[in-house]
Amino acid sequence: MHNHRRLAVLLLVFATTVPLMALPLQDLIAQALSKSTSMQDLEYSKQKTLLTIGLNQVEDELGIAIAATNIEAEYDATTNAYKLSAGSAQAGGLQATFTLPNDEKTTIIVSTGSMSTNLTTGTSYINPALGVSHTLTYGYTADNQKSLLNRQTEVLALSTYESSKLSFTTNLYSQIASVLENEKSIKQTEKELADLKTSLEQNLSLKLIRKESLVYQAQEQTIKMKEATLTNLQATRELLLRQFTLLAGFAWEGVEDIAQPNLSFASNPSGNSSVSLKALDLDLAKEELALKKAEFTNKSLVLNGGVSSLVSSSATDALSVSASATLQAKNFSAKAGLSGTYTYSTNDFSPSLSVSGSWNNNPTLASDALTLQKLENEVLIANLAYQTALNEYLQNAAALESNIAAWNMTHALQRQSMEYNLALLKQQQTLFEKGLATKADVDDAAFTVEMDAYTLASTLLDGLKLENQIRTLQI
């Protein structure tokens, strides 16, 4: 019953105040958002950023490279024939390189090696070769900087867009409230001016005052001052309407159906996007520190192996194999290799073993320690910034809860006042029908109800701005 009565109040109030061409507030906001060039720019900027992030997140795929070297055709006078060849004894021919999409930098090379074909006799030879390289890293190998930076960029782009959108609608609510408050002041001033003129005319007709008296002059002066006030309010209205058009992108036609704001709110212990950005800054600082430590302490083992055939029209056929392992660290490097050649015609195998290494006393040890200390300090600073952002969020959440409670109290008291004023209007109308009240009593009561409509609209707009504050804090 209480909700039905409140709805009756709202319907009566709005029916007596809004213009016939007024737009529902929701439609007005949607139209302004679609026509705002600043919001269009923000939308394009957001989409551009998200596309860039999408490109950065594309996973590496199998890489394939094809190469052909030293391809030539030459005339051989001894055989009176043309010979087509590719490559040399050291390298060349047709080669395919396969790079696997893993963190071990695995590479597979397949090659024809040197090859030749006699176009007349059809005699040909080929020296196929296969090579493999793989790297094993001991220590911290993960690199999350790219994903963290992408996430940071995404959070910043989305939160900036949503915050700007809410800021735009909040400014629009404020502009609408200013226009309505101006309309209310104009109507109040017009009524006060009309009452003053009526009172003066009645006093003159009843000969309670004379035009030559100081009382008459004082009332006329009051009327002139009220007229000046009305002129200023009307000039202000023109300015407010121009400001609305510039902000919204279309002319003011009035507003209706201002919705009840949704002020339900519960603080998030993890904070919002501002806190998340500080958390990502902290993760990036930790990641940079971990990568720098890995640069100083990690060791890598590079494994290489291959097999190739040695065949030609004038040389002995043979098979060559090789394998090597290289251990690398910041201040030393050690390599061991084994290779051998097997000759088919002599059934001989010629192995070869090689060992090499290097070491330095790491003269940058002092600067490396200072670099690590600097990065550790940056982690501490980032952690402090994160804790500060979280505390600020919790403080803002507590202040917002207090503002919500204050608005609910104001709205409840105003609703009670509106219902009383509406009941008083109905009573005055009943008394007027029975001859127990004057037309002026009814008009005054109706005017109070009309003014309540403007007060209600301002209160609801304040609530919607408060709702935007809630949504901003939740982004």
Question: Residue 268 in 3-state DSSP?
Answer: coil
When computed from its CA atoms, the radius of gyration of the chain, rounded to whole angstroms, is: 43
Closest alpha carbon to 447 in 474, 428, 466:
428
Taking the alpha carbons at both ends of the chain, their separation in whole angstroms is: 37
Residue 466 confidence (pLDDT)? 97
Selection from 50, 5, 456, 33 nearest residue 256 by Cα: 456
Q: What pTM, to 2 d.p., does this model score?
A: 0.74
pLDDT in tens, 355-367: 887 777 766 677 8
What whole-number distance in Å separates Cα of residue 68 and Cα of residue 58?
30
Q: Of 19, 2, 4, give the one whose Cα is nearest residue 453.
A: 19
98 vs 110: CA distance, rounded Å: 8
Rounded Cα gap, residues 156 and 68, in angstroms:
48
pLDDT of residue 295: 80
d(CA 244, CA 229): 22
Q: pLDDT in tens for each of the 475 residues of the chain?
A: 454 455 445 445 544 555 557 889 999 999 999 988 888 888 888 888 888 877 766 655 666 777 766 666 666 666 665 555 555 444 456 777 877 776 667 888 877 766 666 656 656 666 677 778 877 676 666 668 888 888 898 899 999 999 999 999 999 999 999 999 999 999 999 999 999 999 999 988 888 888 888 999 999 999 999 999 999 999 999 999 999 999 998 999 999 999 999 999 999 999 999 999 999 999 999 999 988 888 877 777 777 877 777 665 555 577 788 888 887 777 778 888 888 787 777 778 788 888 887 777 766 677 878 888 999 999 999 999 999 999 999 999 999 999 999 999 999 999 999 999 999 999 999 999 999 999 999 999 999 999 999 999 999 999 999 999 999 999 9
Neighbours of 310 (CB within 10 A): 20
Measured CA angle at 364 (ends 362, 367), to 5 deg: 150
pLDDT of residue 59: 59
Residue identified by tokens 């394939």 is: 64
The contacts of residue 446 (CB under 8 Å, 6+ apart) are: 16, 425
Q: What is the pLDDT of residues 190-237, one digit of tens each?
A: 999 999 999 999 988 888 888 888 999 999 999 999 999 999 999 999
What is residue 90's predicted lDDT score, i.e. its pLDDT?
Answer: 45
Beta bridge partners, 131, equal 109, 306
Amino acid at 371: T
Dist. CA 326–CA 333, nearest whole Å: 7
